[in-house]
Amino acid sequence: MILVIILLILILLLIFDLFRYNKVKANAFSEYELKKAALEEAKKLEYSDPFITCEYCGAKIDTHKDKCCSNCGAPYDLNEEWKERHSLKDSFIKDGTDAVNEKREKKALVWSNEILKRIRLEIIIIAGITVSIIGMSILGYYIYDYHRYRRNEDVNKGSYQNFVKAEYTISGDGIVYDKDGVTVSITDIYVDADPVNVFENDGKQAAKIGFRVQNKLGKNINLVIKCSGVNGVYCERSYIYSYDYFRKNADVTFYEELLYPKGNDLYELLFDYIEAGAMDYTYTGRLDEPVYIHTTAQETKDEIALDDKKLLYSNKDLDIFGMYDDDKYVNGLKLYIQNKSRKDYTLDDYELRADGVNIKSGKYQNGLIPAGYIYESDRIRSYDIDPEELKNKKVEIAVSFSDKVEHLNDFSTGFMDVSELYK
């Protein structure tokens, strides 16, 4: 930014100096000024003696001081000697013109040379700054372009990490997406070998999932990978969310970290959204339906304690529990929806109201509730009303669900009273 400002200032100075240069050259040969100066110069050449003789009394008249004869008072404007001195010959004017012309040419040459030196220096500096800006832009774009695309990685990014390959492996080919030349597969699972990290992560353990992306689309692509389900728990905030760029013909292996409850191995991963798009906006491909990846680990379900949460709604397919997460940074109502059926449901929408008046709240991000899963929502809150105000109001929430296979199973809970959770 500073270089650009300096460049603009130098360009303005260059324009100013070019204007000055043209003005100096033009003034050096101004016809009016040459004539005027030539006459003055000719007068100097001719008019060296100021005294003339009075034709009436013969006294000397100093024409520098006197307007008439100081002795007799006679005028001398018709005096022959005076008239002869002021009737300049062409030779005098020519001599005067040549003298003035020579002086002005020398002066103009000095000035123009000085200005030309400045102009040359300014052009050199402007060219240098321009080349520097172009060079830095090219270098910056190269660095940005180089780091923008994902490349092969090591599973441990530094000495502070100690991820080792899990004892269990991926079942099958591990492919989660394969469309139009873009293939995404899971290679291996790595677990954190440092038990101290479990306590630092609020009782959750870390794992890294190895992804292999093969891009044979023939174009550079951006790729979104989202894994929202792990071991029977579907989290609205997602366990893995990756948005990266890959070059055409790339074959890249990289790793994404996820946190999951301590105690169980990773048995099942649910990928609910994958999108590959050409960076020239000529192609977009998406996952047609959720993909489940299983491992050779023992089949287990991560348990979420529901006993300490209030049961808000129940039917033959779904149980809805609620609690208020009073986190000091981000607080709000959380829903836990247990799908007891063999059908996959989708959370379509919810409405929040206080004292019968609808209030604006953040909408859900991911609404899939697979069969046998527990759906954990993010914190539901309104940015229009302070949570403290809701403690003194009747707060209700209504949730609607749909079955994408059989819409006869679609239903809504109606408004459920959650006022107690805000107390």
> Of the candidates 68, 36, 40, 39, which has an alpha carbon nearest to the alpha carbon of residue 54?
68
In a domain? residue 154: no
Task: Let me know whether 268 and 173 are in one domain.
Answer: yes
CA distance 55 to 60: 10
Task: Let me know whether 12 and 104 are in one domain.
Answer: yes
In a domain? residue 157: no
User: Domain residues for 334?
Assistant: 310-422
pLDDT of 45 = 47
- Residue 167 CB: number of other CB atoms within 10 A? 10
Task: Let me know whether 25 and 110 are in one domain.
Answer: yes
Task: Let me know whether 37 and 78 are in one domain.
Answer: yes
- Helix (H) or strand (E) holding 68, with range, is none
In a domain? residue 304: no
Task: Let me know whether 110 and 215 are in one domain.
Answer: no
> How many domains would you assign to the chain?
3
Report the predicted TM-score, pTM, of the whole model to 2 decimal places: 0.69
In a domain? residue 215: yes
pLDDT of 187 = 95
> Of the candidates 237, 260, 270, which has an alpha carbon nearest to the alpha carbon of residue 379?
237
CA distance 38 to 99: 8
Task: Let me know whether 191 and 280 are in one domain.
Answer: yes
pLDDT tens for the chain, 423 residues long, are 677 777 678 788 778 767 776 766 665 545 555 556 555 555 554 455 677 888 888 888 887 788 888 888 888 777 777 777 665 555 555 555 566 566 666 666 677 778 778 878 888 888 888 888 888 888 887 777 778 899 999 999 877 788 999 999 999 999 999 999 999 999 999 998 876 665 555 668 889 999 999 999 999 999 999 999 999 999 998 999 999 999 999 999 999 999 888 878 999 999 999 999 999 999 999 999 999 999 999 988 888 889 899 999 999 999 999 999 887 677 889 999 999 999 999 998 889 999 999 888 776 666 899 999 999 998 888 877 887 888 889 999 999 999 989 999 999 999 999 999 987
In a domain? residue 195: yes
pLDDT of 366 = 65
Task: Let me know whether 197 and 276 are in one domain.
Answer: yes
pLDDT of 228 = 94
User: Is residue 322 packed enough to be buried (19+ CB in 10 Å), middle (13-18) or exposed (0-12)?
Assistant: buried
- Residue 396 CB: number of other CB atoms within 10 A? 18
- Residue 109 CB: number of other CB atoms within 10 A? 13
Task: Let me know whether 210 and 317 are in one domain.
Answer: no
pLDDT of 321 = 96
Residue 174 is classified by DSSP as -
CA distance 147 to 153: 13
In a domain? residue 416: yes
The CATH number that applies at residue 360 is 2.60.40.1230
Task: Let me know whether 130 and 7 are in one domain.
Answer: yes
pLDDT of 281 = 94
The CATH number that applies at residue 256 is 2.60.40
In a domain? residue 152: no
Decide which of 294, 318, 344 is a domain's last residue: 294
In a domain? residue 129: yes
Decide which of 116, 147, 178 is a domain's last residue: 147
Task: Let me know whether 24 and 143 are in one domain.
Answer: yes
Task: Let me know whether 240 and 370 are in one domain.
Answer: no
Decide which of 115, 147, 179 is a domain's last residue: 147
Task: Let me know whether 277 and 396 are in one domain.
Answer: no
